[in-house]
Structure 1
Amino acid sequence: MTGRPLRNATALAAGATVFFGSLAATAATMLARQVVNPPRSTRGPVRVIKCDLHNPEATAGTITLERTIESETAGEYTLLWDSARGRAHLGEIVTADLRTVTRRFSEAIGTPIVGIRTVRVASAPQRDIRDLGLHWREVEVPGELGPMPAWFVPADREGSHDWVIHVHGRGAAMTEPLRAVPLVRAQGWNSLVVSYRNDLGVPSPADGKYGLGLTEWHDVDAALEWASSRGAERIVLTGWSMGGGIVGQTYLNSRFRKRIVGLMLESPAVNWHDTLEYQAAQMRVPAPVAKLGMWLLNSPLHRGLLGTDEPIDLAQLDLVARADEFEVPILLLHSTADTVVPVTSSQRLAQARPDLVDYVEFTRARHTRLWNVDRDSWETAVDEWFAGLSTQPGADSQAQASSRTSR
């Protein structure tokens, strides 16, 4: 091929390269934006097929949903609609086929469920902290951006200086960690369930973006200061999903680190490289595009393309690589069936620090649904781990780990 045909072929090849390069850059930018942008959608991800009421008040009945990972998983959950202004307890599966799942619901409150077309399924079975049936009060933690709402639940014995600070995951509600509160309360621990920047109704930074833990830990640090000023001497941090990464950053950076005697991590994002590659693969995004998106997070282009005030260094967020910096016992719970955060990162963290990490692996539960699918195993693991901390006040924080597998 010579002359004009060769020039035409060269031009076509160059044009195709530019086109596909531009397409890859656009996809990478969209992926990176999805990571840092808080979810603001008012629509739920699960479509309602029909709703049959069992009483005139519309507080109980059965609801038929499209069959998805969210709707088909057995266990107890909270059903949310109308931007969480409507809530109900979601219970057992009645019937299911290839396309739909019918489940019982009860104790509906807020916006009537009649006519609702889409819903969300939250992993916490509690609609609100009132569902715990425990004494509690709403408090405000002074944060660097403003007052952060929190729930305080006192221990079942007076005068306890042991505290647990509970941190929910990305886009989740404050109800997410409530499954652990009754257990730690019975062990003599006060609980502070906190919010952090970019939660709905909470003071947020000017850019309105997630820091994946690099900025949010400041809000948990403020909670540590608040608890310390009220007598907390020994503090455990619990983190769910992204909250696990936030908890890890808090431990590594907090000026109150000496008060932290343990970490409990549930389905945690301890390595964002692994998590983002895993999620991109599920969306069938080519690996090079995913890597480009991760590069953008910490590139000079972050402000213009992503709208973030500060770059996000994923290496700094890698708790597996920084495993040797931890000096307190860690309870690590994860499931091999997690479709959001890969279990492999938790496995590697457990392998890196067998002297500290008590790793409990589940096999059937989806992301943050461990309690819902296997309540007995989950509560036994949490009970035993906190009992070990409770019987060693002031003792050295090193702990010999054990590994168990949930059936």
Structure 2
Amino acid sequence: MQQQRTIRAATAALAGATTFAGALVGTIALSLARQVVTLPSKAREPVRVVEIRPDRDGDGARGTVVLERTVESHALGEFTMLWGQGTGRARLLERLETTDRTVTRRYGDVLGADFAVVRSVRLASAPQLGVEDLGLPWSKVAIPGEGGELPGWFIPAAGESSDWCIHIHGRGATLTEPLRTVPLVAERGWHSLVMRYRNDPGAPAGHHGKTGLGLTEWRDVDAALEWVKSRGARRVVLVGWSMGGAIAVQAALRSVHADLVVGLMLESPALDWNETLIWQAGQLNVPASIAKLGIRLLGSPLARSVLGAEEPLDLAELDVVARAGELRWPTLVLASTGDTVVPVSGSQRLAKARPDLVTYEEFTRARHTRLWNTDPDRWEAAVGKWFDRLGEAGRS
């Protein structure tokens, strides 16, 4: 009898443990799915400022800053520091000294909120603090979208042209992110529209402020295509950075104005969200099985009621590699094996699947969207050469 009671108690305990484990797995999966579709209300400023040393002969606009050593603060190249939720910004320049815990760098061109009292910053990949830094004519524009006006910058090429580029930044990135491409295309006769899309600061909010990973945002690019068409565009290149790459491809595949599209330029693109989300979960030591459960939630009817998404997210629609046969545009893909946000394998597989269309440039040391920062000469040569070929094709 005692043995039977022991067995029953053990069975009950095991059932309870199994139920608890199942609930824990479900909770983690739900949390992951919510993080995927939920944009932060405030931008994180994760890099700690250890010390600020303004130049003695200056006004505080330049000097030396000691930052906590992180992957980003230690990276090669020039960047933008932002603080106070973007109310302050400055250029982060060359490295001077590194230790196990800190990185000392030059900074310059402080704008906005007081830098002297800053305790933490975030780093944006663009070296430009704003569109003004390009030294090119520009104007603010508003694109009529389905949810309201989408702000943007228009940077014209010199002279008359019917060639346009629409530049699409990545998830949570600044509007300056795509500016590295603009001077290269402007000198080749391409007008530029650098656009915001739903849920960006100053842009209309999407459904409950949730991202669609490209499955909803592409409609804003569709509106931008209509806008440039009304201004004489006959040929358009969609330039997408990170998640902006996914948006660009969806717009090319779905837009009623897709006949305008003559090329895609994709920088550090998210081409396979299944792979990317499982890989990102692995960086957090979350097992792939739990990540896959979270992905199933994204695509289920619960996406609306539980996650607040505008629609279930069919990640198969976003798998550009699986849909490679549907592509019909010359495509430049720039990616890095050093990317810690989006695995490079998606770019590699797309290049292998469509060598007839894809020009692939692979970097090694560069972090996510920081290819230009690591090797600007090579990056600009690759982009310029590709646009030269596209220009020649348009003239033939």
Fold conserved (TM > 0.5)? yes
Alignment partner, residue 245 of structure 1: 246
2:146 equivalent to 1:140 = no
* Among 95, 110, 126, the residue aligned to 2:128: 126
Deviations along 1:102-153, whole A, 9 cap, x unmatched?
Answer: 1110000000101111100000000000011110001000000000001001
SS at match of 2:291: helix
2:309 equivalent to 1:280 = no
* Among 109, 113, 116, the residue aligned to 2:115: 113
Alignment partner, residue 364 of structure 2: 363
Alignment partner, residue 53 of structure 1: 54
Alignment partner, residue 95 of structure 1: 97
2:88 equivalent to 1:86 = yes
Higher mean C-alpha deviation, range 83-92 or range 296-305: 296-305
Mapped partners of 2:303, 2:262: distance in 1: 36
Mapped partners of 1:194, 1:42: distance in 2: 19
Alignment partner, residue 65 of structure 2: 63
SS at match of 2:211: coil
Higher mean C-alpha deviation, range 146-155 or range 34-43: 34-43
C-alpha distance 275-121 of structure 1, shift in aligned 2 (>3 A) = same
Mapped partners of 1:350, 1:247: distance in 2: 17
Mapped partners of 1:210, 1:69: distance in 2: 26
CA contact (8 A) 1:46 1:118 kept: yes
Alignment partner, residue 217 of structure 1: 218
Structure 2 length-normalised TM: 0.98
Alignment partner, residue 377 of structure 1: 378
CA contact (8 A) 1:270 1:345 kept: yes
Residue 38 of structure 1, CA deviation: 1.1
Mapped partners of 2:59, 2:40: distance in 1: 32
SS at match of 2:81: strand
Residue 207 of structure 1, CA deviation: 1.5
2:197 equivalent to 1:193 = no
Mapped partners of 1:124, 1:261: distance in 2: 26
C-alpha distance 36-394 of structure 1, shift in aligned 2 (>3 A) = farther
Moved over 4 A (4+): none
Mapped partners of 1:32, 1:128: distance in 2: 33
Q: Which amino acid aligns with 2:216?
A: T
CA contact (8 A) 1:213 1:245 kept: yes
Mapped partners of 2:107, 2:252: distance in 1: 40
Residue 50 of structure 1, CA deviation: 1.0
Q: Which amino acid aligns with 1:145?
A: G
Q: Which amino acid aligns with 1:196?
A: Y
Alignment partner, residue 405 of structure 1: none
Unmatched runs of 5 consecutive residues or more in structure 1:
396-407
Structure 1 residues 2-401: aligned runs within 5 Å? 2-55=3-56, 57-156=59-158, 158-393=159-394
CA contact (8 A) 1:58 1:112 kept: no
Residue 159 of structure 1, CA deviation: 1.3
Residue 394 of structure 1, CA deviation: 6.0
CA RMSD in angstroms, aligned pairs only: 1.1
Residue 391 of structure 1, CA deviation: 1.3
Mapped partners of 1:95, 1:32: distance in 2: 40
SS at match of 1:334: strand
Aligned length in residues: 394
Mapped partners of 2:222, 2:20: distance in 1: 46
CA contact (8 A) 1:43 1:118 kept: no
Higher mean C-alpha deviation, range 135-144 or range 31-40: 31-40
SS at match of 1:391: helix
Residue 187 of structure 1, CA deviation: 0.7
Mapped partners of 2:114, 2:248: distance in 1: 37
CA contact (8 A) 2:46 2:121 kept: yes
Residue 302 of structure 1, CA deviation: 1.4
Mapped partners of 1:92, 1:11: distance in 2: 63
Alignment partner, residue 403 of structure 1: none
Mapped partners of 1:251, 1:346: distance in 2: 18
SS at match of 1:349: helix
Mapped partners of 1:211, 1:174: distance in 2: 19
